[in-house]
Amino acid sequence: METFFDTSVLVSASERTHPHYEPASAAVRRVTGGQEKGLICAHSIAEVYASLTKLPVQPRIQPDQAARIMQENILPYFMPVPLELGDYLAALDRVSAGGWSGGKIYDALLLQCAARCKVKRIYTFNLGDFRRLAAPEVQRLIQTPEAA
């Protein structure tokens, strides 16, 4: 089964003290163990790095550690899917038509990427925004890892 992973799940699975660590790491293990095929948006490479280096944990995750987590724990197992111009335009149309501002464009981009991949499920811990932003045919695919 092909599953698209939001940045929130990848970050949660990368830090043992994160409140969502257990369900997120279980979902990631299904990918690393070969039971599922994991897809991510190529843009999530930057988002995971940015999020990990700003997590309010002690000790802080240093830039070299965040890069290593991405390069060793995520990229060998998850297929990064690049965004195309059409994805940006569709996401822009979606957020502007909905009257959404700010960072919701990033969630809309990830949803656009997931829809283009025709995955069977989308994992996120940001259910509210993802479901509000998703096209109707994609909404039913959105869930948290513990719901699987």
CB 12 within 8 A of CB 51: no
Q: What is the mean pLDDT of residues 121-140?
A: 95
What is the mean pLDDT of the segment spanning 95-106? Answer: 95
Residue 101 burial (C-beta neighbours within 10 Å; 0-12, 13-18, 19+): exposed
Domain span at residue 14 reads 2-147
Give the pLDDT band (50/70/90) at residue 74.
very high
Computed over every residue of the chain, the mean pLDDT equals 95
By C-alpha distance, which of 94, 114, 116 is closest to 105?
A: 94
- Given a cut of 70, whether residue 147 has pLDDT beyond it is no
State residue 146's pLDDT score.
80
Q: What's the pTM value of the predicted model, to 2 decimals?
A: 0.94
Q: What is the mean pLDDT of residues 38-67?
A: 97
CA-nearest of 121, 128, 125, 127 to 148 is 121
Q: Would the pLDDT of 128 be above 60? A: yes
Q: How many domains does the chain have?
A: 1
Model confidence pLDDT, tens digit, residues 10-35: 999 999 999 999 999 999 999 999 99
Provide the CATH number for the domain around residue 94. 3.40.50.1010
pLDDT at 108 over 80: yes
Q: In what order do the strands lie in the sheet with 78-81?
A: 78-81, 37-41, 2-5, 121-123, 142-143
Integer Cα distance of 89 and 119 in angstroms: 21
